[in-house]
Structures are given as C-alpha cells and as structure tokens.
C-alpha cells in the first residue's frame, strides 16, 4: 500500500474507544482481529470518512495485529477510503447488470453536471463520483450508494434532485 501525503488528525475519543472495545468483546481475546471490519467502519466514520496510514497503524496497535493486516483489508474493500473524499460520494455500481441499465451514461451525466471526472472532488469539497462493484441491488439498477443508503432506479432527473438535495443539506448520510 502506498503511503499518501494527506495529513489526518487522529482523534480516538473515549466514545469511539468504548465502541471499539465493545466490538472486540464479541470475540475471544485471541480472535480480536475478527472485529476488524466493523472497527474500521467506526474509525472511518469518526475521521471524516477516510483512513490514513497512521490511523490504520493505530487500529493495528489496538487489535494487536500487523499494520499490513489492516492495509490489505482497507485496500481490498471499496467502502474504505485511503484519502480525503467529497462530503457526498456518489458510488455508482458499475457492474454489468447496472451498466446494461445505463450506469455509464448516468456517471457521465453526473460528472458533467458537477464538472469533475470520476475520482475528482468538486472544488467546494462537496461531491465526488466513484464506480464500485455490485452492491447487491441489481433488481433496482441503475443504482448508487450515498452514505449508508441506496439510491435506486436512477434517472437523470433523480440525479438532478439528489445533487440539489445535497446542496440544500437535505440528505441524511448515516443511519445512526
């Protein structure tokens, strides 16, 4: 894994540590590593939705595992971010069933509306467009994930509305 130059303030607050300890308590002491995925979610949510190498090192230290064991998980799953991201990340499923229903055109449309390419953040820091693998909602294609929620049966009109709602702060990103 490549170490980036992005700086991140690490803030392992007591509520966050309590949640981490609670997650680890679900497993035997010598199997704490099994809590890695949910712990990474909690830590990422508490750090503006991304994980620096230093933060991953911290997670490894807490779980008493090697940093590489954290890096390989973070770099495998698209739901973990290794750099700062736009506040509203439009994660379009671009696996075949969604593509057959027009995902690529919708991604182009969204990028055009926002004035960015895939993987770029808008200059106001609000939006980013990303392509991800099947999200298990193929029957509702084309679809995307926005925060913790799915947006399904997408059309250009729905994209327009989503962008407007994000700008008006009407979008809830997390379910807790």
Query: Binding site membership: which residues?
Result: 93, 98, 134, 138
Residue list 130-149, contact with ligand FES (CB under 6 A)? 134-138, 141, 143
SS3 label, residue 140: helix
State which of residues 97, 113, 146, 173 lies at the interface with ligand FES (CB under 6 A).
Answer: 97
> Per CB under 6 A, which region of 67-75, 76-84, 92-100, 164-172 contacts ligand FES?
92-100
Residue 132 CB, shortest distance to ligand FES, in Å, is 9
Q: Is 106 in the site for ligand FES (CB under 6 A)?
A: no
In sequence order, what DSSP letters do the residues of 32-73 get, joined into one string? GGGGHHHHHHHHHHTTTT---HHHHHHHHHHHTS-HHHHHHH
Q: Is 107 in the site for ligand FES (CB under 6 A)?
A: no
SS3 label, residue 92: strand
Give the single-character DSSP code of 133.
Answer: S
């Amino acid at each position: 894994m490549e170490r980036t130059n992005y700086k991140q303030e690490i803030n392992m607050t007591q509520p966050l540590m309590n949640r981490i300890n609670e997650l680890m308590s679900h497993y035997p002491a010598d199997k704490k590593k099994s809590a890695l995925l949910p712990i990474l979610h909690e830590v990422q949510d508490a750090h503006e939705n991304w994980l620096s190498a230093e933060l991953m090192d911290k997670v490894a230290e807490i779980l008493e595992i090697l940093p590489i064991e954290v890096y390989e998980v973070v770099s495998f799953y698209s739901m973990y971010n290794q750099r700062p991201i736009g506040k509203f990340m439009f994660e379009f499923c671009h696996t075949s069933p969604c593509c057959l229903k027009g995902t690529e055109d919708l991604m182009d449309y969204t990028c055009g509306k926002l004035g960015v390419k895939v993987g770029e953040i808008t200059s106001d820091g609000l939006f980013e467009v990303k392509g991800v693998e099947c999200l298990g909602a193929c029957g509702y294609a084309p679809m995307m994930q926005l925060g913790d929620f799915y947006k399904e049966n997408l059309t250009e009109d729905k994209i327009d509305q989503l962008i407007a709602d994000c700008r008006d702060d009407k979008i809830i990103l997390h379910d807790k």
